Amino acid sequence: MSISKLSVSLLLLTAIATPSHAQSPAWDTHSDTWVAGDALGRTLPMAAEAGLPRANKTVGMFYFLTFAHEQDTVYDNSKILAAHPEAMRDIHSPAWGPLLAAHYWGEPLFGYYASDDEWVLRKHAQMLSNAGVDVVIFDNSNAVTYDKARNTLFRVWEQIRREGGRTPQIAFHCPFSNGNEIGTVTLNKLYETVYAPGLYSDLWFRWKGKPLIIAEPGYADAGALAAPSRHRPHGLATGETIGQTFTVGTPFAEIGGVFATWAATGSEMTLSLFAGGPGGKLLTQKRFENVEDNSALLIGTGKTLAAGKYYLEMSRSRGRIGWWGNSGGFSSAGSYQDGFPVPGYRDLRIRYAPEKPAEALEQSVHQVTSSEAEERANKLRDFFTFRRTIAPYNLSQPPPGAWAWLQIHPQAPQTAPDGTLEEISVGVGQNYNATENRTAPMSFPGAFGRSYHNGREDTTPNAVNWGFNFDEQWRRALQVNPPFVFITGWNEWDAGFYDDWAGFHAPPPIFVDEFNQEFSRDIEPMRGGHGDNYYYQLAANVRRYKGVHPLPPVAPRPVKIDGRFDDWRTVSPEFRDDFGDTAHRNALGFGTHAAYVNKTGRNDIVAAKVSYDAKHVYFYVRTKANLTARTGPDWMRLYLNTDADNRTGWLGYDFVVNRMPDGKMTSVERNLGGVDRWRLVSRVRYSSRKNELEIEIPRTALDVKKPLTVIDFKWADHCHSRGDWTDFTLNGDAAPDDRFNYRAKLNQNVKPWKSVK
């Protein structure tokens, strides 16, 4: 197929694959004005410390889509080492499982999730946006593009935007070299499957006016594009589908392919035959169990099938299994993955009559000519803004036009092709050995862990909780102050298990990029350990880099608790929360881990307001849909931090309001220290109607001994479970999210009006 014909095909695909729904106007939550304190007592800087917002400051986050459903067992290095410390001396210890198995360095707060968990993807978009991250950069440096998880993320994030919410933009990081043309193949596949069809184009991150790609410009190479594609099996992950369209000129009895298991046992999959192409009529389907390596497997209807066009699909895999074929080239050979055209084609075997043996079905595959390859190479060069890849962590003078994703301190500034300052990297830890002056496994002595700073590893108790390495890297970035900061990373839980790597030999066991809590570089919150400390450390430093909007004071307006709410329309400011964060979760975990189910999402809180007078403070909240019955558990609670001190009360909250609504009155309770230790101090007036609620609290109920200048507050519905900070991240809806709070700044220079009765 010529390039021009291919472009027409891709335009047709665009009409199918790219959402056509109009987006709602972006709902700006002004999350940089939210306040928060972490478990260590550190608080987020506001405008007075961080300065006002600065132009041309962009934050990118390395993002990983590595976990699928291909492995039966979850291996958690932190738990393995706690139970079997002797395993460090024996890579054959059963505790480690088999070589090359996927390991987690620790347990994520969201559990051992797979990378296509829609609830997790939604939460990631929310947390990263709230922290000020502008773009996620997918790690495709190992020439794996994780199409299923990536396309799921696209769909979920596009839905968030259609609802009016925020997500980061997206970009890609290609391999560091072009050995065996892996750089060219990866670049071309990303173009073929994402950019050429215009797939979710509003998510694309543009730099210098074009989509950014972290890749060597030389990957757009006509010679490599015209080279024959390589013959190898395409592995099928759980939940994925891969398929091949084909046309036969004579009637046939059965069709199939050749399937690899890499000598694994217990491999299973399903073959389905459709008329026409993907989405056509299902003609027959068969389940294959205990597949032997490189088996030729065929299916048929029991009757002779007419000549014509068909689609054979492989799905519902269990264990390790793949379909032999060729990868690379252009999307013109009828190969599909999860319903989207992809480069390459799958081998087919066909039996034309029951008594005849199966034979290879010769595909009519267009061979790319040199002129077509040159045209494609020119398209790639013109379409993207290329920034070259940098692999070493210690380049003091990187070449112009190259961007680093990770460096040791002090990180070198990266420049644009014209030599102007452009980018710097910030990392949580580095798999680097100073003695050998090169990249090294995180599991080997000398790696730069989370506690590494000032040229050494800090061994003081609980040093890992403070992020000393991360802070040191951020101080350097703030000193250099480039237009772009590239952070590593968000969700890199994957710790690959090897016995030999780049000249390093076990023992100890080799875990290259991630190993355990100390020797890892993941910011996403974990269960136990440092919890969410690194997340708020991220948010704090992004504010220092980008600046913070000033916090507008609350202008007092008359309010009457009558359930009409018209008097709230002129009250400002409006404190906003993300849309859609009451989505329910029901997704299989990694491998065969049991499903994660959470149905606590109920009332989607979208906005809140505060007003006051000489005797009262008034609170208002609005949800997206009508409020549920107040008899439901943990219904629309209001938490107040009246002394702006996160060290007092429960998680800093001195009062909880509305735990006990009754008629037209509800409760105000003071915290006595600790979880669920509250004492009733007052019954106060409240009213609710449809999707709005208002509460009047006398200042005397809050035991205010001095002028009340600020109140930090949070609304929460159906969150209470464990009685710790995770309640506001995992359950129901909190406004604002996670540990964040709104800050109502009461303007003492304005004389409050008298109470409305």
pLDDT at 224 over 90: no
The CA–CA distances, whole Å, from 706 to 293, 553, 672, 703, 711 equal 77, 18, 21, 9, 13
Same domain, residue pair 340 and 423: no
Same domain, residue pair 321 and 428: no
Lowest mean pLDDT of 368-372, 480-484, 598-602, 653-657, name the range. 368-372
pLDDT at 753 over 90: no
The pair of structure tokens assigned to 394 is 């210690």
Q: What is the pLDDT of residues 716-740, one digit of tens each?
A: 999 988 899 999 999 999 999 999 9
β-pairing verdict for 58-63 and 135-139: parallel
Please, which pLDDT band fits residue 14 given cuts at 50, 70 and 90? very low
Q: Which of 518, 546, 574 is the last residue of a domain?
A: 546
Same domain, residue pair 152 and 293: no
pLDDT at 8 over 60: no
Please, which pLDDT band fits residue 434 given cuts at 50, 70 and 90? confident
pLDDT at 750: 54
Please, which pLDDT band fits residue 368 given cuts at 50, 70 and 90? confident
Same domain, residue pair 199 and 277: no
Same domain, residue pair 586 and 698: yes
Q: What is the CATH number of the domain that holds 299?
A: 2.60.120
Q: What is the pLDDT of residues 557-597, one digit of tens each?
A: 889 999 999 999 999 999 999 999 999 999 989 876 678 99
The verdict on residue 556 lying in a domain is no
Distance CA 277, CA 320 (A): 26
Span 440-462, mean pLDDT? 95
Q: What is the pLDDT of residues 302-335, one digit of tens each?
A: 999 999 999 999 999 988 899 998 876 676 678 8
Q: What is the pLDDT of residues 45-63, one digit of tens each?
A: 999 999 999 999 999 999 9
Higher confidence at residue 601 or residue 14? 601
3-class SS letters over 484-508: EEEEECCCCCEEEEEEEECCEEEEE
pLDDT at 757 over 60: no
The verdict on residue 279 lying in a domain is yes
Q: Which one, of 8, 140, 97, lies nearest residue 509 by Cα?
A: 97
pLDDT at 752: 53
| Number of domain units in the chain | 3
Q: What is the pLDDT of residues 31-50, one digit of tens each?
A: 999 999 999 999 999 999 99
3-class SS letters over 638-680: EEEECCCCCCCCECCECEEECCCCECCEEEEEEECCCCCCEEE
Span 371-391, mean pLDDT? 94
Q: Which one, of 131, 125, 113, lies nearest residue 158 by Cα?
A: 125
Span 340-365, mean pLDDT? 83
The pair of structure tokens assigned to 151 is 């396309």
Same domain, residue pair 265 and 342: yes
pLDDT at 4: 32
Please, which pLDDT band fits residue 372 given cuts at 50, 70 and 90? confident
Q: What is the CATH number of the domain that holds 490?
A: 3.20.20
Span 72-83, mean pLDDT? 93
Half-sphere exposure of 652 (CA within 13 A, CB side): 25
Same domain, residue pair 653 and 703: yes
The verdict on residue 107 lying in a domain is yes
Same domain, residue pair 121 and 68: yes
Please, which pLDDT band fits residue 18 given cuts at 50, 70 and 90? very low
The pair of structure tokens assigned to 14 is 């665009």
Q: Which of 515, 546, 577 is the last residue of a domain?
A: 546
pLDDT at 332: 65
Span 428-457, mean pLDDT? 94
Q: Helix, strand, or coil here: 363?
A: coil
70 CB neighbour count, 10 Å cutoff:
19
The pair of structure tokens assigned to 530 is 């440092």
pTM summary value? 0.89
Same domain, residue pair 309 and 400: no
pLDDT at 254 over 70: yes
The verdict on residue 591 lying in a domain is yes
Burial class for 560, CB neighbours closer than 10 Å (0-12, 13-18, 19+): middle
Same domain, residue pair 36 and 160: yes
pLDDT at 283: 96
pLDDT at 364: 57
The verdict on residue 236 lying in a domain is yes
The verdict on residue 754 lying in a domain is no
Range of the domain at 19: 3-215+384-546
pLDDT at 706: 66
Percent of the chain whose predicted confidence (pLDDT) is above 90: 74
Span 741-754, mean pLDDT? 73
The verdict on residue 447 lying in a domain is yes
Percent of the chain whose predicted confidence (pLDDT) is above 70: 93
pLDDT at 1: 30
The CA–CA distances, whole Å, from 323 to 150, 334, 690, 748 equal 21, 15, 55, 71
Span 211-228, mean pLDDT? 91
Q: What is the pLDDT of residues 593-652, one digit of tens each?
A: 678 999 999 999 999 999 998 889 999 999 999 999 998 899 999 999 999 899 999 999
Burial class for 566, CB neighbours closer than 10 Å (0-12, 13-18, 19+): exposed
Same domain, residue pair 201 and 238: no
Q: Taking the mean position of all CA atoms in its chain, how far away is CA 88?
A: 31
Average pLDDT of the residues of the chain: 90
The verdict on residue 559 lying in a domain is no
Same domain, residue pair 97 and 129: yes
Distance CA 162, CA 504 (A): 49
